[in-house]
């Protein structure tokens, strides 16, 4: 049983456990749903990640910004599809975010903003080996999606240095950093 959506990772794991099926466990699935767990584990295993912190109260956000500067990205720790993601670039953005109470009503993470193109990687592993890894560049950033715009992707040339770099990163993340099932589809 595979999950085809981020939100279904935990549900599928619970169903597999209930039915006694092989696959990703509930505990391992948390690394793919909880951004704090994912980033911490990836960082501990040598994957470059932006500086990040958990936000449980306004002071956490302000402390991170004081130490790292603006802009920053705030996002629900278990979000999906860019829902709830914001880029805070000014004092006004910070005040607006805090005035909504978002930093205390849900679990949020804050991380340094890294400018650049955004990529997606989709693929399939069978018995621990990649069958396909396909990378593409988003034509717009993912925040455009929550604003009602189409974002689309353009597939990368399989032989390009950038594609090889993304594939190397993906394999390190899935094969050495995260508790990835031996047979599974993925989307990064």
Tell me the three-class secondary structure of 12-54, residue by residue. HHHHHHHHCCCCCCHHHHHHHHCHHHHHHHHHHCCCCCCCEEE
- Summarised one tens digit per residue, pLDDT across range 69-106 is 999 999 987 766 677 789 999 999 999 999 987 666 56
127 by Cβ neighbours in 10 Å (0-12 / 13-18 / 19+) ranks as exposed
Could you tell me the domains of the chain? 52-112 (3.30.1490.20), 117-187 (no CATH)
Q: What is the pLDDT of residue 70?
A: 98
Q: How far is CA 45 from CA 81, 96, 111, in A?
A: 26, 36, 19
pTM of the model: 0.82
Assign residue 88 a region: left if phi > 0, alpha if psi is -120 to 50, beta otherwise?
A: beta
Cα–Cα distance, 65 to 53 (Å, whole number): 10
């Amino acid at each position: 049983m595979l999950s085809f959506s981020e939100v279904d990772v935990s549900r599928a794991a619970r169903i597999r456990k209930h039915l006694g099926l092989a696959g990703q466990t509930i505990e391992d699935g948390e690394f793919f749903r909880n951004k704090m767990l994912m980033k911490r584990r990836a960082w501990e295993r040598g994957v470059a990640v932006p500086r990040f912190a958990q936000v449980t109260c306004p002071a956490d956000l302000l402390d991170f910004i004081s130490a790292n500067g603006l802009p920053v990205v705030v996002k629900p720790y278990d979000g999906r599809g860019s829902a709830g993601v914001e880029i805070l670039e000014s004092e006004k953005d910070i005040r607006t975010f805090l005035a909504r109470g978002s930093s205390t009503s849900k679990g949020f993470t804050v991380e340094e903003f890294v400018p650049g193109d955004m990529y997606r990687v989709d693929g399939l592993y069978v018995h621990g080996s990649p069958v396909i890894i396909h990378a593409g560049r988003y034509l717009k950033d993912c925040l455009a999606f929550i604003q009602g715009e189409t974002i689309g992707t353009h597939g990368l040339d399989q032989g390009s240095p950038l594609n090889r770099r993304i594939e190397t990163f993906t394999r390190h993340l899935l094969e050495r950093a995260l508790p990835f099932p031996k047979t599974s589809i993925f989307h990064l």
